[in-house]
A and B are shown apart, each in its own frame.
Chain A
């Protein structure tokens, strides 16, 4: 059983604590992604799980073993590095077979395992080449091949796609997803790209400043973000987040603008409370041009001027001014709009989010 659990895991560099006592239970065969901005501690945590960094406090369990002080080679893990870390002086086949060679397996076993992995990743033609003769995407696949050859308990990926260009990244994302369905092991995947996290994982762990902000399935973190940070981090384009103050039945914004208090929050707030109002661009649209135009039931429409538009072909991102700032709205079936045009902007308040301004926690029950 390849579960991984982190109990009160701490990492300190000298006096500076960078990972603050995090707890996480990774289920057997789960694909879990650690996401967050640079410096949030996700790579550090991954490296602690791998055994490449010392643990300053807490415990790490892999399966039913505590592995705190064990070196990487005794943890039965594989890792794919951001820079691939291939052995330059060995061929692709030797790179992939290296761990088996170290384990003392016979040449026949090694060849068989390597051939199998090569087949899975379409690397057969490249087996005799050196890393310097491969493209970025090919090197990435070799790195993955090296990882799967050993059939470890846990796979660790450390931002494996960061060094690839956008197109290649999309291709490799699909490859990784296919690989997981085929190989069915536990995967812990670190990335700063929330799209990768959303598309690949069974559950997402959002980290910030050494803390875990939220753990949940992609649907959960998208539709029910627990904190303002998660709300703003997940989803592209980013959610509109604006500060407001609760007034009688209203949300009062800057410049005197206001919106009716969404029904789901009527009992969760008190007058005078400072909050942060969040609405995804999907739920903000020129009247009649929205994603859920037909189904919405708590819609508030008001007239606003257009600042700029970003036409994407199938839709246009409209930046409209409300309460003194630009809000991003998604316009389907786009019609041409120009800066200064006045439009009727619909706010689908049933999809709105509200966070306490001080604690940043969601006010949704």
Chain B
């Protein structure tokens, strides 16, 4: 039809739309449909059977599922909060350094550049009960004489994974908060010193209100990627031994590919997606509020 010219912004957005639709939206719809079926890869015709919400019901009443789910939420909550605190501390340390800031910032960013699988591998090696450097160091220092089962015992493994995850992602927070610290005007801090504030009070009343938005931005960006934990767990313990470190995503992978129960796995996946969206939405709301604060006042 001659004369119909789509608005330029429509044209520009079209490639993005197409790619996302093809690779994400359509498959997700397919996934949704399949979650209502007892689909098994080994019996492809099962995709045409419709069983309604049975998969979901089965999941929501499955103890193992809830344990994995709970473990996932616990891991994320601990990880994100500790990363925020440590990132803050790291940013404060680096910001106060008078020389070599460039080197410090570069080193600070290393962990972010590593693939989570790589991070997982590093810690798998370090926490190995026989030859890992952690146990070796503890034994050489005389603090213990047994091989601590970092990756075998349920709780210790959780801690090991948590450490790996924190090591990997603290830098995200550190970078954003550092940017905030460097952008902050100095004189209100000096005024606070004159007004009688100790270092802690200066931080609490002047510094923190300023860098809060930056911290939230970091939180939001971080929350987009919480599934990185899957990579780490997969290589460190693969959800084991005996499911003691099973988290939501390793369970999905196992159900889908090892047990080949795709329908059920897709149901799990949708619950996982909902979890992701929840985390992100929560932080996005904080971010919008914080952005407003930045624009309006400083």
Q: Do chains A and B touch in the complex (CB under 8 A)?
A: yes
B191 at the A interface (CB under 8 A)? yes
Q: Is the CB of B195 within 8 A of A51?
A: no
Q: Contacts of B197 on A, CB cut-off 8 Å?
A: 73, 102
Residues of chain A in range 40-96 having any CB-CB distance to chain B below 8 Å: 50-52, 71-73, 77-79, 81, 83-89
Q: Contacts of B190 on A, CB cut-off 8 Å?
A: 52, 72, 79, 81, 85
B115 at the A interface (CB under 8 A)? no
Q: How far is the CB of B215 from chain A (nearest CB, A)?
A: 15
Q: Is the CB of A88 within 8 A of B193?
A: no
Which residue of B187, B210, B296 contacts A83 across the interface (Cβ within 8 Å)?
A: B187
Q: How far is the CB of B53 from chain A (nearest CB, A)?
A: 49
Q: How does the 8 Å CB contact mask read for B60-84 relative to A, with 1 for contact and 0 for none?
A: 0000000000000000000000000
Main SS class of interface, B: helix
Which residue of B187, B201, B293 contacts A81 across the interface (Cβ within 8 Å)?
A: B187
Evaluate whether A132 and B297 lie within 8 angstroms (CB atoms) in the complex, with A87-B205, A87-B206, A98-B205 already known.
yes
Evaluate whether A89 and B187 lie within 8 angstroms (CB atoms) in the complex, with A73-B197, A99-B196 already known.
no
Which residue of A52, A83, A102, A130 contacts B195 across the interface (Cβ within 8 Å)?
A: A102
Q: Contacts of B187 on A, CB cut-off 8 Å?
A: 81, 83-85
Q: Give the CA-CA distance A78 to B191 in the complex, in Å.
A: 9
Q: How does the 8 Å CB contact mask read for B180-211 relative to A, with 1 for contact and 0 for none?
A: 00000101101111111110010001100110
Which residue of B188, B194, B293, B296 contacts A87 across the interface (Cβ within 8 Å)?
A: B188
Q: Contacts of B194 on A, CB cut-off 8 Å?
A: 50-52, 72-73, 77-79, 99
Residue of B nearest to A83 (CB): B187
Q: Contacts of B191 on A, CB cut-off 8 Å?
A: 79, 81, 85-87, 146
Residues of chain A in range 118-166 having any CB-CB distance to chain B below 8 Å: 130-132, 146, 150
Evaluate whether A103 and B196 lie within 8 angstroms (CB atoms) in the complex, with A81-B190, A85-B190, A87-B205 already known.
yes
In which size bucket is the chain B interface?
Answer: 20 to 34
A-B contact count (CB 8 A): 65
Q: Contacts of B298 on A, CB cut-off 8 Å?
A: 88
Residue of A nearest to B189 (CB): A85
Q: How far is the CB of A267 from chain B (nearest CB, A)?
A: 52
In which size bucket is the chain A interface?
Answer: 20 to 34
Q: Give the CA-CA distance A132 to B292 in the complex, in Å.
A: 14
Q: How does the 8 Å CB contact mask read for B129-165 relative to A, with 1 for contact and 0 for none?
A: 0000000000000000000000000000000000000
Q: How far is the CB of B115 from chain A (nearest CB, A)?
A: 40
Q: Is the CB of A132 within 8 A of B196?
A: no
Q: Give the CA-CA distance A72 to B199 in the complex, in Å.
A: 12
Which residue of B188, B201, B293 contacts A86 across the interface (Cβ within 8 Å)?
A: B188
Q: Give the CA-CA distance A130 to B198 in the complex, in Å.
A: 24
Q: How far is the CB of B70 from chain A (nearest CB, A)?
A: 38
Q: Is the CB of A51 within 8 A of B193?
A: yes
Q: How far is the CB of A329 from chain B (nearest CB, A)?
A: 44
Central interface residue in A81, A88, A99, by most chain B CB within 10 Å: A88
Q: Contacts of B192 on A, CB cut-off 8 Å?
A: 87, 98
Q: Contacts of A83 on B, CB cut-off 8 Å?
A: 185, 187
Q: Contacts of B206 on A, CB cut-off 8 Å?
A: 87
Q: How does the 8 Å CB contact mask read for B245-266 relative to A, with 1 for contact and 0 for none?
A: 0000000000000000000000
Q: Contacts of B205 on A, CB cut-off 8 Å?
A: 87, 98, 102
Central interface residue in B194, B296, B298, by most chain A CB within 10 Å: B194
Q: Contacts of A77 on B, CB cut-off 8 Å?
A: 194
Q: How does the 8 Å CB contact mask read for B82-102 relative to A, with 1 for contact and 0 for none?
A: 000000000000000000000
Evaluate whether A102 and B196 lie within 8 angstroms (CB atoms) in the complex, with A87-B205, A88-B297, A89-B209 already known.
yes
Q: Contacts of B209 on A, CB cut-off 8 Å?
A: 89
Q: Is the CB of B193 within 8 A of A72?
A: yes
Q: Contacts of B193 on A, CB cut-off 8 Å?
A: 51-52, 71-73
Q: Contacts of A78 on B, CB cut-off 8 Å?
A: 194
Q: Is the CB of B195 within 8 A of A98?
A: yes
Residue of B nearest to A94 (CB): B205
Q: Is the CB of A73 within 8 A of B195?
A: yes
Q: Give the CA-CA distance A102 to B193 in the complex, in Å.
A: 11
Q: Contacts of B195 on A, CB cut-off 8 Å?
A: 73, 98-99, 102, 146, 150
Q: Give the CA-CA distance A28 to B296 in the complex, in Å.
A: 43
Residue of A nearest to B187 (CB): A85
Residue of A nearest to B296 (CB): A132
Evaluate whether A88 and B188 lie within 8 angstroms (CB atoms) in the complex, with A72-B194, A79-B194, A99-B196 already known.
yes
Q: Give the CA-CA distance A98 to B293 in the complex, in Å.
A: 21
Residue of A nearest to B190 (CB): A52
Residue of A nearest to B201 (CB): A102
Q: Give the CA-CA distance A6 to B132 in the complex, in Å.
A: 61
Q: Contacts of A52 on B, CB cut-off 8 Å?
A: 190, 193-194
Residue of B nearest to A74 (CB): B196
Given contact pairs A83-B185, A146-B195, a sample of 15 additional A-B residue pairs in the complex whose CB atoms are under 8 Å apart: A51-B193, A52-B194, A71-B193, A72-B190, A72-B193, A73-B194, A78-B194, A79-B194, A81-B190, A86-B188, A89-B209, A98-B195, A98-B205, A102-B195, A102-B201
Query: What are some 7 contacts across the A-B interface (CB < 8 A)?
Result: A52-B193, A52-B194, A72-B190, A86-B191, A88-B188, A98-B205, A130-B297
Which 6 pairs, one residue from A and one from B, show the smallest C-beta to C-beta distance?
Answer: A85-B187, A99-B195, A85-B191, A73-B196, A88-B297, A102-B196
